[in-house]
Structure 1
Amino acid sequence: MNRSSSSRAGLALIGVTSLVLAATGAPASAAPALTMTLSSTTGPGGGATIVGSVTANSVTPVPFPAGTNPTVQFQYVGTTAASSACSASAKVVSPIVVSNLLTTAGTLTVNPAAVKRISTTKIVFQVPSSPYPVNDANGNPSTVNPNGLVLMGGQTSSRWSVCVYDSDNVTTSTLLATATYTLAIKPTITSILPASSPAGGGQTITVNGTGFAATSVATTATAGGVALTNVKVAANGNSFTATTGPRAAGDGLPVVVNAPGGTVSSLDPDNNSQTNDPPIPFSYTNGISITPNQAAAGTQVTIDVIGAGFSSLTFDAGAAPIGSGAHVFLVKDAYVANSNRGVAECTGVSVIRDTELICTLDLAADQLNPANSATMPGVAIAEGAYVLTVVADGGTGAGGSANPTIVSSGATFTVGPY
């Protein structure tokens, strides 16, 4: 073969090789993993159900194809890492490593039975609460992370990468999506000081316990179903202060705290329903404040009453203040439905809001008979200290209210020679 023929053969070989390479194609680089949004980014440990969502793009138009069941792993990040750091392929399951009471490593795979594909962009899975696989490579029960994802040692929180792969193969799997999950201790309550509030709210209370650490997830709380405001968590996470809102009076009420590690009620303060720990009940006391709180005898005055629960009351507008409706009485000492109803009634009640009403007190009118609220002609309302009392049911019979709905010895009204 001459040199020209050899050259042509070489060119032909190159052409064939090129065709082969073109047919097989060079390995395509994996598309970058998508950022996944979690329905909950923090929790107390294993067992929680989480929905993960991603947004498809032109590079990855179908993140979770039909007929597939993605593999979800929790890979330890640290205590302060700002972003996920998933490995390119799935990791080998490994125990949680602890050094100086702090977690330093660990990888958990979510049981495939606890992973469900909802759509091409959404999956639902459970935070591991037990080891997977159940048996190790030798067929023996696995001792890797027997309690699932839990805090170790003295940690109060730890961060984990949530890594979604197309399979569990540690060499060929592809990373599809990433997110971060913060593990936090379950909150507990040890005391509430004070454990009561006036009905009008505005009481500053301190809730002591554990697990209230200030994180990206805010700590919120309610008392008797009413939101606490101005929640300020101590740096060590063992207490917070807050301000009560207005609420109708009641006893045995729960203070419920929503913290990074879950929810706790003061009626189960150790956050373990299997133990018989004494509850820490909260109460709203019957209390109102009034402005003004004094007036001269023989005058007429409009009174602004601040309390709670006024919107649900139906005030009796009848001339004789004996009936099943609500009333505002001027009472000497404590109100008693059938014997000490009051010497005057604050009439023309207008409920401004649930926490405020106004009414007119006529101190020039004849005194009412405290026994039955009948008018006592010619008897003036005497000077002295009284208690303005709001009652839900002003009846005197069996159906009448034996006790006032809202009462406060602090809501003293003085009739004097001003």
Structure 2
Amino acid sequence: MTLSFLQIFRLGLVQMALGAIVVLTTSTLNRLMVVEFALPAALPGMLVGLHYGVQLSRPHWGFTSDTGGKRTRWIIGGMGLLALGGIGAALGVTLFAQSYQLALLLSLLAYALIGVGVGASGTSLLALLATATAPHQRAAAAMITWLMMIFGIALTAGLAGSFLDPYSASRLMMVVSVICVAAFVVTILAMGRIERGLRLKAEPASMSFIDGMRDVWRETRTRHFTIFVFLSMNAYFMQELILEPYAGLIFGFTPGESTSLSGMQNGGVFLGMLTVGIAATGFKIGALRTWVMVGCLGSATMLVLIATTGLTDSSFQLVPLVIGLGYFNGVFAVAAIGAMMALASEGRGQREGTRMGLWGAAQAIAAGFGGLTGAVAVDVMRGVMADGPAFGIVFALEAVIFIAAAVMAARIMGRGSIKASTLVAAE
């Protein structure tokens, strides 16, 4: 017995809950530290980098899923830790005005919990999707769950932004606490009895984690795709920690307005994902290789325009450009996810979780490195030039990396090697 589409939708609710908490810690709290508390951008960059660094445990979570055992407990337990980490991170931000040392200590602990929670819950969820969905459902399942996650991110950012103005510490704690508790409750309800009746094959428990990883790394396509994920995700996440401060410092956005801007960006991501899904499933247009390249090159173009807007009296508006960036990010993301789900089932069987964990770890390293690099680069540039050019240079660097990722996708995926039809839920 495999997962039904109703059960896949329920797993999508878990992804939506996960995204709802993470967007608060990587966008809203980051902006408050940099703008309201005038802390260096490297500080939230370091904290977010910590939570991504902890996610190096993702391959082990995936391997644990491959060697058997129920995954529901890891998904719910991980979400519980993520919720606690989100509330702790918000509390840490409110304490910076009273005690920098106490706030930093609490923030370090909170972001470490966030990393463990995302790693345990997210990887176990992906392993369940990869192993419990029928082969013809995998790509469709990936698209459904990721669209729901982006919807959760966009909805949370929009609602949180509307409730945060006028900003106060008590208002922040109330908004974050409600979202985190709601996400945990949704996860418990969504996962109830979902594994009952599933017949899942598992790797022998006697195999060590090192041996399992060694076997997977020997697979040429898995290894090359891991490198591609690392490069492309560096570009994808480099603007994550600096876009809201950019909106606040250069364009005078309030905390609520910049949080809403993040919501609009993720709304663009949602539309980009829908575009590829409809074009691929409804009209059989293009290969995944083509869609990945379009997403990368379009994202690079939007970043150059965003940088230009902050440097000159350009007629371009920041909001539509950010939505455009989100749109092309979504085109890239859903194409890359489709390729990932298709490749996860290649090679030796019963290793889907390990491969997803490996790619998840590569993404986490790239996201942490890219986010921290962007934040540190902005701090360095702001020390020697005006804010507009400082941010502009970093956005331009991100655009260059996106172009390099497009070139790498063209070489690794090969013309037509992975068809867009892999997104179609059909034999």
TM norm structure 2: 0.18
Whichever of the two has the greater Rg, that structure is 1
| Structure with the bigger percentage of strand | 1
